[in-house]
Amino acid sequence: MRQLLNHLYIFYSFVFILNIVHVFWENSILYSIIGILGIVMTAISFPRSDRVFKILGVILLAAGTFFFFSGESTFQDIPSFFAGNIALLFLISMLPWMNSVVKAGRYNRLLQSLLGSNAKGLGALYVRSEVTMVSLAAFLNLSSATISQDLLKEQLKTVKNKVKNSFILMATLRGYSLALLWSPLEILLATSIFITGVNYLEVLPWMLFLSILGIIMDSFIGKVMFRKHEMEESSSLEKGFDQSKKKLTQFITALVLFLSVVVFLGNVINLDFLFAVTIAIFPFAYLWSVFVKRKKSFLQIGWPTWKWKTNHLSNFIVLLLTLSFLTETLNASPYLKYLQDPIIALEGSPLLIMLFIQAAFLVMTLLGVHPIATMGIFGGVSQLLIGAFPPVTLTVLLATCAIATVPSAPYGLIVTITSVALRMNPYQIVLRNLPYSILLGFLGIGVALLTLLIY
């Protein structure tokens, strides 16, 4: 049995290949086959998933079953109900390849150089730490947070523990979330684009603008909060910073090139954004490793990492495929109107609808529901929302309100990692970052309202 579980990546890859075939050859029978295999994936993953995802999966399946019997769907429709989010799983399974080329190219050492050079007091270091996180987390992803937290713990070892922990959890988690706003590798942004069908290139300037506003807002807050605190100066890494300028240039160039490839695939080849990002990851990462002469390291790191990560997709499989079942059955159910009623009641009041969406993401996250699940629920009423807002506005709104909750998600991976690293209760981290999540949500609403004037 263990041998079989260690080779699940072969089965999952087969399903993903069928999904690629379906993109270029839309066929209802093939889609149903993908859905049947999705049901098998769910059955395999359920006993292997974490407790919170098991509970979520049961709730989503129970709710979906209720909506199924209340509607006019037939049992023949059930397989297709499980196929909707296979594309999202495919993207998640490919992400380790990008992280692997970053590790192979030793770009994670950039954090050490950028955070290590001298800063005059904690206020100045906070600004540098956040800007560094935003700059590099787009590709380094979770590893940027873990590496920077270890470095900052060492750098702030003479600072009082309470101040040090507040500094680290604020700078790293908030900077991480600001990078997710525009990163093409961020699953919440990709999901919002998947729901609205908008062009990534149309959304990118707004998300970058929002990220810049977020940096300005939180850097000012951090600088004011920590300006009275001093730290011991250390120049040991100043030389490392100078030596890393070439590597930083390579990193930024690679980021721009990857964005260009995604835009080309979406605008010229006319591929769906989610699919374009997914299929671009491995070829781009491989060519990048060749360019920096790290092909061997890339494959040595990437292959076992990809296999392990794909074998352990259980949590995402349970969440996304049961969510797909719920969303599809809800759309075919008469009970859909009860979800639509609050939005219909707020028709003509876009600001109130936006505040309702922000509150829903925040409350659901604090209750332990993953933002992707909440995103899926809004996806179920996407046609109504698109009737209320232009697609660009809705994408900015959904993505920002979802990503704003990341530093305040008590059961989220990044908060869990931080709580272990700092030996803090996750809810202490949540309380510290909750005002930021609310403010970033308000910023997102402001930018979304601004897009209404243009679209």
Q: Residue 448: inside a domain, yes or no?
A: no
* Length, in residues, of the chain: 455
pLDDT in tens, the chain (455 residues): 777 888 999 999 999 999 999 999 999 999 999 999 999 999 999 999 988 789 889 998 999 999 999 988 899 999 999 998 899 899 889 988 988 888 888 776 676 677 655 566 788 889 888 888 887 787 767 767 777 887 788 788 888 888 899 999 999 999 999 999 998 888 899 999 989 989 898 999 999 999 999 999 999 999 889 888 776 655 444 455 455 677 778 888 888 898 899 889 988 888 888 899 899 999 999 999 999 899 999 999 999 999 999 999 998 899 889 988 988 888 888 887 777 788 778 877 899 999 999 999 999 888 877 788 888 888 877 888 888 899 999 999 999 999 999 999 887 778 877 887 788 888 889 999 999 999 999 999 999 999 998 88
235 domain residue, yes or no = yes
Can you list the pairs that 413-420 forms with residues at least 24 positions away whose Cβ atoms lie under 8 Å?
Answer: 413/142, 414/142, 414/145, 414/173, 414/176, 415/173, 417/142, 417/145, 417/146, 418/145, 418/149, 418/168, 418/169, 418/172, 418/173
Structurally, how many domains does the chain consist of? 1
Does 233 fall in a domain? yes
Domain range for 214 is 95-311
Q: How far apart are CA 146 and CA 139, in angstroms?
A: 14
Domain presence at residue 340: no
Residue 321 domain-assigned (yes or no): no
Dihedral sign for Cα 199, 203, 204, 205, please: positive
Q: Is position 435 within any domain?
A: no
Q: Is the residue at 402 inside a domain?
A: no
